[in-house]
Amino acid sequence: MSSASTLYQRVANRVLRLIEKGVYPAGRRLPSVRALSRRMRVSINTILGAYRWLEIRGFVEARPKSGHFVRARPQGPRPIPASLRENPVPVAVHKLIQEIVRNSSVPRLIPLGMAMVDPRLLPLARLNRILSSVARRMPELAHSYADPAGYEPLRTQIARLAADAGAEFGPDEIVVTSGAQEALHLALEVVCRPNDAVAVEVPVYYGVLQAIESLGLRAIEIPADALDGMNLDALRAVLKQYRPRAVVAMPTSHNPLGITMPESKKRELARILAHERVPLIEDDAASGLHFGPVRPSPAKAFDSQGLVMYCSSISKVLSPGLRVGWIACGRFRAEVEHRKTFRTSANATMPQLALAEYFEEGAFGRHLRSLRNILAGHVDLMSRAIRRSFPIGTQLSIPSGGFHLWVELPLGVNSLELYQLALRAGITIVPGPVFSPRGRFENHIRLSAGRWSAKEERAISDLGNLVRQMQCCGGSSSTMQM
């Protein structure tokens, strides 16, 4: 199943490369669906899926009865240079991130920086009913210590969900954690010692940097290609030169880029690391929020040596507040459970009981389908609003999942200054430098489309005006074209 999703993405990427190389210039008609299906020996549906993918992202326009045409000025993120390789560095992002996270939840601010979906899109009423029912029916169990590894029926449900995505691990491989954040922290803690080097793809979710900082590790950057994720040549070079203790990656619905590595590349990533005996810490916090029709397999599906530590949670799809995450630990199972027990004894029991019942009911798949369709719509609307409001020179990511947009501002516009100005205007954003151990991405911001209404649309327009004002010394005030 999962190969179908990557097939249409691969076709889309191939067509995109031809567009970027000028083989199909702006205004040119692309090969017909039928002709391309014959030429590439894939089904008509696969080509239709690929063209639709390109259409949603603004590269291609479908004209009734005429076919698909390359749009005048396709937007796409600039590739991140593969030559970033430099010595591992200690990380010091803590204070800025803390401030950003605190501001993200101030109610009077419009939270374009918050990595959380609109609570109205979550089945909170159902979860609350199950929680009270659990408290009523199992009062003693609900108030007892849980198994340090996590409530067994919940671990079984988690293993079933992972199997649907092609990753095979049993309940015994899983340790339930306080969100994906604790899973990432535990994974790093188990395989690294202070001062060790850890390789992270950049941009990287800032929570990974917080964990690296708190454990006294050093980070080394591996650039992520804006179309298909971590640059594997750079990875090979880093492995050879610095022998990092672990590699942290988010191969599916990456935060902040929104991209998903093709399955073949995930397989290769797992193979390279298995060959070098370096653990992969896989962050799959946006699991289930893919925009394509088929759920992509995680890299864990290609773990032949038990070296992939798979971290995920319910925070983006059900409830960030219940603080339930997990780690499928591979060969590190005993050590992870040991550390978890040391630190917190176990996760809170009641959320685990309730969640196991919620998964057992079988409504989760339907909820996910609806949620990801809504989020894909939000991302599309936010992308259009940015294209309308931000000045020329702005570049946008093309997410294939999740709800974040990675925005490259025109050169010279400093995202930390924009962050301060936006705060004064009542809007939160996340400035680019917190996504890099070296404080790169000075002219990037992450915007989140977890909620979308006229209020957020106005906030995007206000942000666009702020960017123009910051730019005005440099001149241009024209609007970015599609």
Ligand X SMILES: Cc1ncc(COP(=O)(O)O)c(C=O)c1O
Pick the binder of ligand X from 175, 180, 322, 375 (CB under 6 A). Answer: 180
Residue 9 makes contact with ligand X by CB under 6 A: no
Check binding of 428 to ligand X (CB under 6 A): no
Q: Kindly tell me which of 176 and 217 has the beta carbon lying closer to ligand X.
A: 176
Fill in the per-residue mask, 352 to 391: x = in contact with ligand X (CB under 6 A), - = not in contact: ----------------------------------------
The residue among 36 and 285 lying less far from ligand X, judged by its C-beta, is 285
The residue within the footprint of ligand X, chosen from 250, 356, 368, 396 (CB under 6 A), is 250
Per-residue CA distances from 249 to 149, 182, 329, 348 (Å): 24, 16, 15, 28
Site string for ligand X, 135-174 (x = CB under 6 A): ----------------------------------------
- Output the residue with the shortest Cβ distance to ligand X: 179
Tokens of 475: 């001149």
Q: Is 179 in the site for ligand X (CB under 6 A)?
A: yes
CA-based diameter of the chain, in Å? 68
Instruction: Give 290's strand partners.
Output: 401
Answer yes or no whether residue 49 interacts with ligand X by CB under 6 A.
Answer: no
Applying CB under 6 A, which part among 84-92, 178-186, 341-349, 428-436 lies near ligand X?
Answer: 178-186
Q: CB burial class (10 A; 0-12, 13-18, 19+) of residue 454?
A: exposed
Residue 285 interacting with ligand X (CB under 6 A): yes
Residue numbers 197-236 binding ligand X by CB under 6 A: 205, 207
In the complex, minimum distance from the CB of residue 201 to ligand X, in angstroms, rounded to a whole number: 11
Residue 319 is a binding residue for ligand X (CB under 6 A): no
The reply to whether 253 sits near ligand X by the rule CB under 6 A is no
Which helix (H) or strand (E) segment holds residue 221: the answer is strand 218-225
- CB-neighbour burial class of residue 244 (10 A; exposed 0-12, middle 13-18, buried 19+): buried
CA atoms within 13 A on the CB side of 171: 12
Q: Give the burial class of 478: count Cβ atoms within 10 A of its Cβ; 0-12 exposed, 13-18 middle, 19 or more buried.
A: exposed
Please name which of 290, 219, 218, 304 lies closest in space to residue 261, comparing C-alpha atoms. Answer: 290
Residue 482's identity, in one-letter code, is M
Q: What are the residues binding ligand X (CB under 6 A)?
A: 115, 179-181, 205, 207, 250, 255, 283, 285, 313, 315, 320, 325
